[in-house]
Structure 1
Amino acid sequence: MIRLPAVAGMFYPKTIEAIEEQISRFDVGDATPQPALGVVAPHAGYQYSGLVAAKVYSRIAPQGPVILIGPNHKSGMFTGAPLVAIMAEGVWEMPGGDVEVDAALASLIMEETDLPANDPKAHENEHSLETQIPLLTHYCGEVKIVPIIMARIPDSALASLAEGIYRAIKRSGASATLVASSDFSHHVTAKTAERLDLMAIERIEALDASGLLEVVRGENISMCGVQPTAVVLDVCKRLGATSAELIEYKTSGDTTGDYRSVVGYGGLIIR
C-alpha cells in the first residue's frame, strides 16, 4: 500500500530541493538533539508554522518508530469512515523518499485496542500527519512511522486508546516517540489566541491530559488536535514522562502581519 503525498506544493514545497531550501531558512537556534517520549507540533503551511515545528524536531532524537497521531479534519465528509484510522502497513511516498510504516508495531496496537481501524483510504487527503514528515526526516533521519488520525470520539474512550498504544509499545520491546499534531486557537485575535492557548499549554506542561480537555472545552479553545494531544500525554505519562517544555509559540499573524484573525501554533517536547 502506497500513500501518495496530498499537500506537497501547498502546505510545504513540492520537491525535496525546495523543502530543504525552506527548512534551511528556519533559525532553530542552538539545538542539541536528545531522546524524547513525545512532542506536540503544528501542522499548518510551513510559512506559518514551520519554524515552530522545526524547533521541536531539531531538538529530539527518536528512539525507534514514531507514532504520529493527529486530527482527521475531513472525517465528516465521508460516510462510514472510522473514528480512529490507522494505516497498518505500506509506505508514505514523500518528496524526499518513501517513509515506511512500522507494520509490526501497528499490528500490536490493533491487538491491544479495538479503537483504530486499518483504513489507509482515510489517510489519503488528510494533512495533519503528512506535514510533520519532511521536518521529522530532515532533522531526525530515516524513521519508521505508525500513522493514526482521529475524528472526535468520546473523551471517555481516550484512556483506552492510550492504554492500548502503551501496551503495544511495551510488548514491542523497543522505544517509540509519539507526535501529537495540533494547531491551537483558530480565527481569533492574536491577543485572544495567546491568552487561551497558554491556558492549554499550561495543562500540557503539567502532563495533565484531563485538565487539557477540561480547559479546551470550558474556554471554547479551537484546538483541532486536543484529543490526539491528550492521548499522547497519557501514553507518555505511562512511559514515565516527568516534564513537558514549551519550545516555541507563534501565531499566523507573525507571518502575515494581520493580528485580527490568527491561528496559534505551539511546539512542545515531552520527556
Structure 2
Amino acid sequence: MSTTRPAAVAGTFYPDEPIELRHMVTDLLANVRGGEPLHAIKALIVPHAGYIYSGPIAASAYARLAAQRERIRRVVLLGPTHRVYVRGLALPEAERFVTPLGEVPLDREGMQQLKDLPQVIKNAAAHQMEHSLEVQLPFLQTVLGEFKLLPLAVGEATAAEVAEVLETLWGGGETLIVISSDLSHFLPDAVAREVDGGTVDAILALDSHLNHEQACGATPINGLMLAARRHGLHPVMLDVCNSSDTAGEPDRVVGYAAFALESDEAADQPEAEKGATLLKLARAEIGSKLWEGAAKSINAAWLQEPGASFVTLTREGELRGCIGTLEAHRPLGSDVRANAVAAAFHDPRFRPLSRSEFDDIRVEVSLLSASEPLAVADEAAALAALRPHVDGVVFEYGRHRSTFLPQVWEQLPDPNEFLAYLKRKAGLPMDFWAEQVRLSRYTVTKWKEVAA
C-alpha cells in the first residue's frame, strides 16, 4: 500500500498547476480586508468548497496566522466525510499528503497518541477522495513554515468523542486546530442568510448543539465548541457570505463562514512548557522519596502563584493513586509536589509505591480552575446542568464530600451514573438526594506523560 495520499481534487476544487495555484492562494490572502494578524489563534473554522466559491472566506482566516508562522509546527485538521461512511473519526494509512505545492508529512507520533481511543480508526478509503481536508492544505502550505499534519475524517460521532480527541492532541502554541465546514446547503439566498446568521451566533456563543442542516461539519465543530469552553477560547467571526456573493446563483446557495478561536496569550503561551515542568516536578518528588534524596528545585515565578492540582498515577493503564486539592491555598509548585507524594504513598486505596514500580508508572497532573456553585433546585436540574467531559464536580452534604475530575466522564459518560457514583464516593446511597445537597463544578487543564 502506498504511503502517500495524492491530491484527489486538484484541477477541480483548485488549480492543479503549481505556479497557478500558488498565485491564486497568494492573491486570495493578499486581498483579505482587515487581515491584520492575530497573535494567539488556537483554532480556525474554515469552509471547503471550490476556491472560486469559498476561497476568499478561507483566506480571511489563514491570513491571520502570519504572526504564528514559525510557532505552529503541527496542524490537527478535522473535516466531515462526504463519500465514505465512517463510525467515529478516521485516520489515514498514508505517511504523507501531497498537493501541487508539495508533500506534507503526517504526525505519526500524534496518531499513536490516539491508538487507545475507541472512536478513532484507520480508514484509507475515507481519505482517498475527501475534499474537505485536502482543500485546506495549499493555504496551510503557503502561510506556515514547516509543519506536520494530523488529518481526521469525521463521520458519525458525538461532540464528546470529538472533544476527547482534541483534548488528547491539544498541545501548546505549536499546535493549530482547523475545522473544515461549510454552512447551510442549497437554500434560497434570503433563507440561507437567516439560517447562517443563527449558526454564526451559535458558534460565537460556543454552542455545541449545531445540526447538519446548519453546517456539514457540525460534528467536528460541536466537539471544538466543547473543548473551546473548557480551555477558555474566545471566538472571533472573520467573514461570512454565501456562494451567490462569489460565483453562484441566488436561488440555491451554500453558506460559508470563517472563525478564529483565540486563547488567552498569557495563559496559553507557556502551556506545553508548563505541563512538562509540572510532570517533571511530580515525578522528581516521588523519586526523591523513594531514594531519599532531595529533588532538584525548579525556579519559575508561576510555580509560586496559588494553585490547586490533582496528581494521578497509572500503571499499565490502571489507576495506581490519585490525590489532589480542590481549592488553591498554597503555591502551585508546593501543591503538585505534596499531591504527588500523597498519590504515590498515602492513597488509602493502594499500597505505597515501590522502587520497582517507579519506571512503570505514568504521571498525570491536572490543574483546576476555581469552582463555581451550581444553583439547582433538585436532582433533575442538577443532571441537566452537568456538562459531560467538561465538568469536574464537587458533591457536598453535611460532612459528606466527594469529587470526580472531568476525566471520570470517560468511564461514566451518563450523567445519571456519574452523579450516582459521586454520591457513593461521598459515602451515601447512590439514589440519595436532599434539599441541602450542594454541587459545584470546575474545569481542568491536564498533562500526562507519554509512554516510552
TM-score of the aligned structures, taking structure 1 as reference length: 0.86
Query: 1:102-113 alignment to 2 at 5 Å?
Result: 102-111=107-116, 113=117
Paired position in structure 2 for 1:4: 6
Paired position in structure 1 for 2:120: 116
Residues 100-124 of structure 1, C-alpha deviation per residue, up to 9 Å, x if partnerless?
Answer: 111111111233x221102233201
Query: 1:251-266 alignment to 2 at 5 Å?
Result: 251-256=242-247, 258-266=249-257
1:145 alignment partner, SS class:
strand
1:165 alignment partner, SS class:
helix
> How far is 1:257 from its partner?
5.5
Query: 1:11-50 alignment to 2 at 5 Å?
Result: 11-26=13-28, 27-29=31-33, 30-50=35-55
> How far is 1:206 from its partner?
1.3
Query: Is the contact made by 1:11 and 1:45 (CA closer than 8 Å) also made in structure 2?
Result: yes
> In 2, Cα distance between the equivalents of 1:240 and 1:110?
27
Paired position in structure 2 for 1:230: 222
Paired position in structure 2 for 1:163: 164
Paired position in structure 2 for 1:51: 56
Query: Is the contact made by 1:87 and 1:146 (CA closer than 8 Å) also made in structure 2?
Result: no
> In 2, Cα distance between the equivalents of 1:21 and 1:184?
27
2:259 to 252, 258, 268: 268
> How far is 1:234 from its partner?
2.1
> In 1, Cα distance between the equivalents of 2:37 and 2:248?
31
Residues 106-161 of structure 1, C-alpha deviation per residue, up to 9 Å, x if partnerless?
Answer: 111233x22110223320100000000101121223321110011233xxx32133
Paired position in structure 2 for 1:240: 232
Paired position in structure 1 for 2:83: 74
Residues 198-244 of structure 1, C-alpha deviation per residue, up to 9 Å, x if partnerless?
Answer: 1111111112213xx2xx37xxx342111111112223333331x10
Question: Which residue identity is paired with 1:108?
Answer: Q
1:267 alignment partner, SS class:
strand
Identity of aligned residues (%): 30
> In 1, Cα distance between the equivalents of 2:9 and 2:129?
8
Query: Is the contact made by 1:169 and 1:176 (CA closer than 8 Å) also made in structure 2?
Result: yes
Q: Give the stretch that moved more between structures: 67-76 or 159-168.
A: 159-168
Question: Which residue identity is paired with 1:20?
Answer: R
Structure 1 residues 198 and 100, CA, compared in 2 at 3 Å: closer, same or farther?
same
> How far is 1:89 from its partner?
5.4
> In 2, Cα distance between the equivalents of 1:190 and 1:117?
38
Paired position in structure 2 for 1:65: 74
Query: Is the contact made by 1:41 and 1:181 (CA closer than 8 Å) also made in structure 2?
Result: yes
> How far is 1:23 from its partner?
2.1
Structure 1 residues 174 and 261, CA, compared in 2 at 3 Å: closer, same or farther?
closer
Paired position in structure 1 for 2:207: 208
1:144 to 117, 142, 148: 148
Question: Which residue identity is paired with 2:175?
Answer: A
Asked whether 1:96 is paired with 2:101, we answer: yes
> How far is 1:258 from its partner?
2.0
> In 1, Cα distance between the equivalents of 2:205 and 2:138?
29
Question: Which residue identity is paired with 1:120?
Answer: A
Question: Which residue identity is paired with 1:18?
Answer: E
Deviation >6 Å, runs of 4+: none
Structure with higher Rg: it is 2
Q: Give the stretch that moved more between structures: 136-145 or 194-203.
A: 136-145
> In 1, Cα distance between the equivalents of 2:238 and 2:4?
34
Residues 162-199 of structure 1, C-alpha deviation per residue, up to 9 Å, x if partnerless?
Answer: 123303435xx774211110000111111111110111
1:128 alignment partner, SS class:
helix
Asked whether 1:132 is paired with 2:123, we answer: no
Paired residue total: 253
1:249 alignment partner, SS class:
strand
2:152 alignment partner, SS class:
strand
Query: Is the contact made by 2:159 and 2:208 (CA closer than 8 Å) also made in structure 1?
Result: no
> In 2, Cα distance between the equivalents of 1:234 and 1:39?
15
Unaligned runs of 5+ in 2: 263-452
Highest RCO, 1 vs 2 (Cα 8 Å, sep ≥ 6):
1
Unaligned runs of 5+ in 1: none
TM-score of the aligned structures, taking structure 2 as reference length: 0.53
CA RMSD of aligned residues (A): 2.0
Paired position in structure 1 for 2:198: 199
Paired position in structure 2 for 1:190: 189
Query: Is the contact made by 1:101 and 1:145 (CA closer than 8 Å) also made in structure 2?
Result: yes
> How far is 1:268 from its partner?
0.5
> In 2, Cα distance between the equivalents of 1:149 and 1:238?
23
Question: Which residue identity is paired with 1:229?
Answer: I
